[in-house]
Amino acid sequence: MVFAFAAAELLIEADLRGCITFAEGAFRARFGRPAQDFVGQRVISLVAPSDRPGFATALALLVEQGRLKPAVIALADTAATAFSVSGLRLDDGDEKLALTFAPLPRELPGGPLPGGPGLASMAEEILRTGEPGGPVGFLELTGPGGRFAPGGEVSREIQAELNKQAGEGAVATELAAGRYRVLPGRTPFDLPSLTSAVAEILKDRGVKDVSVGAMAVQLQTEGLSQVQATRALRFALAAFARGGNDALEKAGFDGGLAGFLDSASERAASLRRSIAERRFRMAFQPIVSIADREPHHYEALIRPLQDDDKAMSHPGEFVALAEAVGLTEELDWAVVSAVCEAAGAAGGTRVACNLSGLSLQSPKFREDMKTLLENTPGIAERLVVEITETAEIEDEAEAARMIEVLREHKIPVCLDDFGAGAAAFRYLRAFKVDYVKVDGIYVANALQSERDRGFIAAMVDLARTVGAQVVAERIETEEEAALMLELGVRYGQGYLFGKPKMELAVRRAGQAWQEAK
């Protein structure tokens, strides 16, 4: 074992999955246990919960690029000590990772490691590691006119106070304006105390007639598989972001994750009817060449309909519910059918449809897709498939067979939300893809954050090594577009280039783009 970092306090070797195979150093001083106790655990367990999503992404980059440059993380010790972590991939026959953790003379400025974890990643990490310190807390601000959205400074103050009051390792996040979730740390937090702390901030700021509602969702998963618990949790976050604590209670989350699944049968029946009756519409957003703004293709985005055919429910909640109750394949097939109809009427326009990892690894879905492509002349020339990471792919061999079918028909494949979770890096190695789409959180932060700019540049280099082009989403300004070009990103998506529309632009040979009504 070769370590060239004399200042390191913790020395680790791990396999490519991040499981520790060798440990040496001051483990007892930092964690109260000898180094050998950590062999067999995941490296990520050494990192504070707030930094785990970013560290998981950094670890995935280490596997792919062979090196992790020094980065600042907080240890999972009692003081959440700021440490520098570095790493190398050692290809000496065993293919392993060598990591060093070294203390800092002082905590460096800057946010957590880049990770773009998405709303559920931190909480899902608690489920995976089996370390829940208590329930997830949900707090909602309500004024006379309904939901109350505090200003930016007040919101940041609330998050900081929630993190402080909730205890060591807890993480507070604003999921939507005036709606916060608090993930537990090492010990359970007192939700009434958190509620009082937020109310006191509002009072000190002169905010009147605003109440603070709170709800706890237990993470105990007895009787549930990890997959079921994860799906239920994702739906809880989507429901709360849209409808607050009232939506959580109506979905049965007052009884925890298990309570939701116990009450899900009626919701599943209603959702199945909605899918069968196509109670949704597709909106289409352009993906353009950033250099000349010419549309390259369009992404189809689902827009569910309520019973009156006018009001739309939240797309994320709709998809999360389908996943939670086992209807993902049915929904994906309905979306594929709708996209094929739209693409078929749009001349030479290519349209991207999203496929969940659950559908991607389904043999039946693969056979149905193959039949559709073989029996619908010309449709393959008008499709792009985006692989979403809403559900992790467990059977990569089956997913690879689906991608082979798509590539046999010359359908381009895109990895969606690249960087939003560590699994996407594994997929890039396992599957042949044509595009990777950088998660929008990096684009949103890139102008202010050198760390996010560096991460985007690393993803561009990584994509190029496998022959893939990069798409950046959520581009809102000309400054962001110029920066993406500078970083090597070729394609862009976002409000700067066009909002999603119910009409799909049409391009026919020798003609300019037109809109299909």
Contacts from 167-174 at CB under 8 Å and sequence distance 24+? 167/133, 168/78, 168/80, 169/48, 169/49, 169/50, 169/76, 169/80, 169/133, 170/49, 170/133, 171/49, 171/50, 171/122, 173/119, 173/122
The sign of the dihedral angle between the CA atoms of 389, 390, 396, 397 is: negative
List CB contacts of 428: < 8 A, sequence separation 6 or more.
64, 415, 418, 436, 462, 463, 466, 468
Beta bridge partners of 33: none
pLDDT at 6: 42
Structure tokens at 225: 């598989």
Structure tokens at 290: 């950033």
Domain positions in the chain are: 10-103, 121-262, 266-437+497-516
pLDDT at 118: 44
Beta bridge partners of 413: 385
Q: Residue 510 region, left (φ>0) first, then alpha (ψ -120 to 50), else beta? A: left
Q: CB of 424 within 8 A of CB of 459?
A: no
3-state secondary structure of 484: helix
CB atoms within 10 A of CB 166: 26
pLDDT tens string for the chain (517 positions)?
Answer: 433 434 567 889 999 888 999 888 778 878 888 888 899 999 988 998 878 878 888 888 888 888 888 888 888 888 788 888 988 888 766 688 999 888 775 433 333 333 333 445 566 666 665 555 578 899 999 998 888 888 767 888 888 888 888 877 677 877 778 888 888 776 778 899 999 999 999 999 888 899 999 998 887 666 666 667 777 787 788 778 878 888 888 878 888 777 777 777 777 788 888 888 888 999 999 999 999 999 999 999 999 887 554 444 678 778 878 877 788 899 999 999 999 998 888 777 899 999 988 899 999 999 999 999 999 988 999 999 999 865 567 788 999 999 999 999 999 999 887 766 656 677 777 788 999 998 887 888 888 877 778 778 878 888 888 889 999 999 999 999 999 999 999 999 999 999 999 888 665 544 444 444 3
CA distance 412 to 231: 28
Q: CB of 394 within 8 A of CB of 32?
A: no
pLDDT at 319: 82
- CATH fold of 10-103 reads Beta-Lactamase (3.30.450)
Specify whether domain 266-437+497-516 bears CATH 3.40.50.2000. no
- CATH fold of 121-262 reads Alpha-Beta Plaits (3.30.70)
